[in-house]
Amino acid sequence: MPGLGVIVNVVAVLAGTAIGLVFGSLIAERFRLIAFSGIGLATMVIGASMSLGGMADLSVSELGSWSALVLVGSLVVGALVGEALRIEYWLERFGQVLQQAAYKAPVLAPGKADQPGEKGHTLVEGFVTASLLFCVGAMTILGSIQDGLGDPSLLYLKSLLDGIASIALATTLGAGVGLSVIPIIIIQGGIAAGAHSVEAFITPEVIGSIQAVGGALIFAIGLDLAGIKRLPVGNMLPAILIGAFVAGMLT
């Protein structure tokens, strides 16, 4: 059934968020902080390994020594395009709209939407952070394409990873993590729906480019989660499409 993987992914994130919200209040702030540092470090390692793997695949392809230029060029041009489009600004604005709606919801009394933890985190922060983490990377794109073609196995694996991550994220960032299912439905569902039209374009070089660029963005998300440095990852999202396009055109 095409689209089943997307549905499972959404359910996994919602279930993980619910578990995190239930047990998050039982965990002291200092334990949440150290756990969050661990999540950030793990995310950095995963992103770095994914990016290096993609670069290795590109280096042995027809692109050869041009692989580094594909990565650098995609990130720079993609960041410029994203900055011009103000992607991160509009993503945060959408999160703010959701936060205002949450204030009016009976399940979230005023104050809880912006203070799920002892130190206080906005619904927007949870939504933006989780959305970027769950919607960036090769697994999102390739898994959605395979799901649209009738093979949801890769999205099943992603669902397991996202579900575990959402538990940890929700303990610190609150209910906003669960709202990340909205971009998951839009992005992954949209890719799955158009899978047949892009299937021929997905070459090994394109896959390597997606892994290299997407892994770099995931590494940047890890820097933010670990509290080291926040980069405008939202504005860099076009880099994935640009990298895939360039790799496809050059091979």
CB 58 within 8 A of CB 213: no
| pLDDT confidence band for 124 (50 / 70 / 90) | confident
Q: Answer yes or no: is pLDDT of 123 > 70.
A: yes
Q: What is the pLDDT of residue 119?
A: 37
Domain assignment of residue 135, given as a range: 4-250
Q: Which residue has the tokens 């039209």?
A: 197
Q: What is the pLDDT of residue 102?
A: 65
Q: What is the pLDDT of residue 113?
A: 43
| pLDDT confidence band for 17 (50 / 70 / 90) | very high
Tens-place pLDDT, residues 66-107: 888 889 999 999 999 999 999 988 988 888 887 777 666 554
- Which two tokens mark 187? 């992005």
CB 235 within 8 A of CB 79: yes
State the Cα–Cα distance between residues 62 and 59, nearest whole angstrom: 8
Stretch 40-64: mean pLDDT: 88
Q: What is the pLDDT of residue 174?
A: 86
Tens-place pLDDT, residues 187-225: 999 999 998 888 778 888 888 898 899 899 999 988 988
Domains: count for the chain: 1
Q: What is the pLDDT of residue 108?
A: 46
| pLDDT confidence band for 248 (50 / 70 / 90) | confident
What percent of the chain lies above the pLDDT cut of 70? 91
Q: Answer yes or no: is pLDDT of 251 > 80.
A: no
Stretch 155-167: mean pLDDT: 91
Q: What is the pLDDT of residue 118?
A: 35
